[in-house]
Amino acid sequence: MYKKIILSTILLLFGGSLSVFSQTKATFAHLNVSEIYKLMPGVDTAQQRIAELQEELTTVGTELQNEFQQKYEEYTKLVSTYSPAVAKAKEDELNTMYSRIQKFSQDAEEEMALKQQELLQPFQKRILDAVKVVAQTEGYAYVFDVSTISFSEGGNDITAKVKTQLGIK
């Protein structure tokens, strides 16, 4: 008898929670963030500034590499004529140049990442804020970007509503 009461209680608890779960159905929507992003005023200017910085850093990096290559070729050509002390000094100079190139490359990557974040983060925030407004207004629990979905057939596309929220046509 005691086992029947416990079993009945467990079934009642699980049965009740299953019916509550089935009543609160999660709703999903998707949007195309890339499409929205391309249409946002100012994004093209930010991307142009990022491209200009990339070009500048690439030019400086190429100059450093060319200078290193030139010194290395000179060293390999003339190493047999150098005294041990001169050869060591030239090797140290090459090692220092190589270290500078590596440091520049790391610094350039960090600078690019910071510039991208600085220039593009405000646009990303505006999109996220608009998605939140639309999702809450329309009652969506989850919103996915189409670039992260492996398969989708139909569904609720809120791209146009987010564009409207952002004032984009």
What crossing angle do the helices spanning 43-78 and 84-138 adopt, rounded to 10°?
160
Question: Does the 2-166 domain belong in CATH 3.40.50.970?
Answer: no
Using DSSP, state whether 29 is helix, strand or coil. strand
pLDDT tens for the chain, residues 1 to 169? 433 333 333 333 344 444 444 445 668 999 999 999 899 999 999 999 999 999 999 999 999 999 999 999 999 999 999 999 999 999 999 999 999 999 999 999 999 999 999 999 999 999 999 999 999 999 999 999 988 887 777 788 899 999 999 999 8
CA pair distance 109, 106, nearest whole angstrom: 5
CA pair distance 96, 101, nearest whole angstrom: 9
Parse the chain into domains and list their residue ranges.
Answer: 2-166
Rounded to two decimals, the pTM is: 0.72
